[in-house]
Structure 1
């Protein structure tokens, strides 16, 4: 089998930053950034019209290693490369790295086209297809279908029966091992939504550029449905398969939820985490809270489709606003039928047994206010379960691939969106454990525990 395309590897491609001599001309960097800016600006138009692998960044480290250890032989004598030759090789490797980033980014946007128009799903359901048949089946432009199929095969994403056949006769297929990644929305390996994240970032890129001097922020809604839905879809498999196990690392809270506990899911987005809690703990009642009205509308639709609307509710509100959190506590009283009625009868009975915050604390403009508001509505024994980015405890220039990706998302999305919400604490994506502890202490909590949950992207905390 040819080398496969793995969206998870794009974090490494996009983030690799070797120590290199300064590019004195600056031409390669400016030229490549200009190219990507053009791609970002044009993607939405290409997607609309659609319906009517290049260099690998990892080559840089290989070139550096080879240059450092390479010697020429002149008249039988070993001669090390000159400083000028070494510098030229390193500069060239860095230029090649940037071109590789462009190749990865543009390929990922073509994955988004495949998702958006159902091209991958059609190939999985119908089997090998010619460009004309795919176009007729999905309603996309035939010439675009042909170019997309050829590009996908060239990138190693699709297979082709006979590359030497005429253009109109070539049949393309989705390899079975690629289907879970690209099509199966609840499969643990489903990674195609990262393409939606990039499309959303591209959509708002002109606004980020315009605001980069002023620093007033770019509203979340400017990133469109692409980013909103991409975030939800990317995290959905983890919620679906792991939610019960995550909560069980707080055994006292899991027992309460099994008995009919009440949960606030703060920063719930499009609702997949809220739905997963209700599914994993059928006796529990859950209310999702999010600042974005469009996300809440979609969350309600998802809950109805999942059959949990009778024990799940959603509210639009700012988790940093104590009134919004109190409103959520009041709203969940509508779910307190059955075993819950026989429990506590004091004022704390209207609060929550558990508050969950999945990959949302770093996006809150007033995180200390949010944690304090949650604390005020916790029942006796209640706790907060936070999942946020698994990054180093302090800044290092040689960050790992995941942290490099997170920093890029912070510059392009999380920091601008949080700043637009509130400039009180514009943290950005990279939320380090000491910061979580500091915020919790400022909110009045005396204890923060890192939970023993293995996850490549998130670190889990129990607060309270």
Structure 2
């Protein structure tokens, strides 16, 4: 490395660090309702904002400075600095719109947490499992929102219109079961698109079930969707399912794949379909240098802490064939997302 090149790399690192800081400031405002309070209340002093959000005024005053610095707030009012209002960038964090930047703010903090855990456990070889995801309370509460925001648009724009199985289910009025449904975003989008489709979502976390139930009711799909506690090991659905979905969950139970694929085969109705959505891990490391796959490489490192690793579409298809099912591979998002049907 030459002296002339050093400033370039330093400046690049500084720019990346500022991007991370910007998302971290946004996360603080999201998780404590500061953006939402300003969107509802309008321009406010830091003290007024603190009262509206129910937060400590000292912390809010310092957050206002930081949010202003990163372009989320502007000054307004008779006196400069008297009140602040949301800029266009700030308004992007005021709601839960799937097309907005909110999920990336959550992912920024989750990534920082998991990076620290990875650095620690790399020294010992420990892989403590998924409990590490819940070690930060403020992140855990927004986990479903993050997943919905990051993957909901891909589902609606690419997967949903492409797979005929969903239209066939709507015509027959069959039941779709989502294993590990989280906040129910997958079934809720299915139900909005197909008015005759019924769904049951199973998840082990009570908070996720309550959130999914409330969101379905607010969206007008609660009469056709039910969310309850359970998973593959505690399956509480009496009737055979026309469709069983696992969304970015199979790699969490891959060590038990023999049981998983036998379960999928044995719990489907005649003519039923399993729909497995996973990141499509490439066959060669060189593919990971593509900027569109860098996030996958980072996430796979984080998955190692949880005892998991990403899978190739071909590996998933081979397991379906092993239990006597016929797989079809569908690729989306420039080949980075695989749905094996």
TM-score by structure 1 length?
0.62
Residue aligning to 1:15: none
> Which shifted more, 308-317 or 380-389?
308-317
Paired position in structure 1 for 2:212:
299
Q: 1:144 to 1:241 in 2, by over 3 A?
A: same
Verify: 1:437 aligned to 2:317, yes or no.
yes
Shift of 1:113: 1.1
| 1:285 correspondence with 2:198 | yes
Kindly state the Cα deviation for residue 367 of structure 1 after the two structures are TM-superposed: 6.3
Task: Report the equivalent of 1:406.
Answer: 296
1:398, distance to aligned residue in structure 2 (A): 5.6
Contact 1:132–1:146 (CA<8 Å) still a contact in 2?
A: yes
User: CA 1:90 to 1:290, structure 2 compared with 1: closer, same or farther past 3 Å?
Assistant: farther
CA–CA separation in structure 2 for the residues paired with 1:228 and 1:277: 25
Asked whether 1:357 is paired with 2:246, we answer yes
Q: Structure 1 residues 226 and 272, CA, compared in 2 at 3 Å: closer, same or farther?
A: farther
CA distance in 1, matches of 2:51, 2:177: 46
Whether 1:197 and 2:107 are equivalent positions in the alignment is yes
- Residue 234 in structure 1 maps to residue 146 in structure 2: yes
1:248, 1:391 → 2: CA distance?
24
**Residue 64 of structure 2 is aligned to residue 175 of structure 1:** no
Larger mean CA deviation between 123-132 and 308-317 belongs to: 308-317
Distance 1:99 1:311, change over 3 A: same
SS at match of 1:172: strand
Q: Which runs of 5+ in 2 are unaligned?
A: none
CA contact (8 A) 1:229 1:270 kept: no
Counterpart CA distance in 2 for 1:296 and 1:184 is 21
Distance of 1:111 and 1:377 partners within structure 2: 44
SS of 1:189's equivalent in the other structure is: coil
| Contact 1:197–1:230 (CA under 8 A) maintained in structure 2 | no
Compared CA separation, residues 227 and 220, structure 1 to 2 (3 A): farther
More displaced 10-residue stretch of structure 1: 260-269 or 376-385: 376-385
Report matched runs for 1:340-351 at 5 Å: 350-351=239-240
CA distance in 2: counterparts of 1:443 and 1:198, whole angstroms: 39
Unaligned stretches of 5+ residues in structure 1 = 1-20, 22-86, 331-349, 420-425
The answer for the alignment partner of 1:54 in structure 2 is: none
- TM-score normalised over the length of structure 2: 0.82
1:86-137 deviation per Cα after TM superposition (whole angstroms, max 9, x unaligned): x223344334433333322232121111112221122222333332332232
CA contact (8 A) 2:47 2:57 kept: yes
Indicate conservation of the 8 Å contact 2:35/2:94, yes or no: yes
Moved more, 239-248 or 271-280: 239-248
Q: Which residue of 2 aligns with 1:446?
A: 326
How far is the alpha carbon of 1:263 from its aligned partner?
0.8
Query: 1:445, 1:104 → 2: CA distance?
Result: 46
* Aligned match of 1:266: 179
1:346 match: none
CA contact (8 A) 2:281 2:312 kept: yes
Question: 1:351/1:366 Cα in 2 relative to 1: closer, same or farther (>3 Å)?
Answer: farther
Question: Once the two structures are superposed, what CA deviation does each residue of 1:313-346 show, in whole Å capped at 9, x if it has no partner?
Answer: 3344443x4xx4xx3442xxxxxxxxxxxxxxxx
What's the C-alpha RMSD, in Å, of the aligned pairs? 3.4
CA distance in 1, matches of 2:34, 2:94: 10
C-alpha displacement of 1:192:
1.0
| CA–CA separation in structure 1 for the residues paired with 2:89 and 2:123 | 45
Aligned equivalents of 1:98, 1:457: Cα separation in 2: 29
**1:141-185: CA deviation from partner (whole Å, max 9, x where unpaired):** 3333232222222212223348x9654x2x322124652x31231
- d(CA) in 2 for partners of 1:198, 1:244: 25
How many positions carry a matched residue from both structures? 337
Query: Where do 1:62-81 residues align within 5 Å?
Result: none
1:347-367 Cα distance to aligned partner (Å, 9 max, x none): xxx322112222223333436
> For residues 253 and 54 of structure 2, what CA distance do their matches in structure 1 show?
41
Where 2:286 maps in the other structure, the secondary structure is coil
Distance in 2, Cα, partners of 1:445 & 1:328: 23
Q: Is the 8 A contact 1:194 1:230 kept in 2?
A: no
Mapped to 1, the partners of 2:157 and 2:244 lie a distance apart of: 15
Aligned to 2:339, the other structure's residue is in SS state strand
Bigger Rg, structure 1 or 2: 1
User: Are the aligned partners of 2:127 and 2:304 in contact in 1 as well (CA < 8 Å)?
Assistant: yes
Superposition deviation, residue 261 in structure 1: 0.5
Q: 1:415 aligns with which of 304, 323, 327?
A: 304
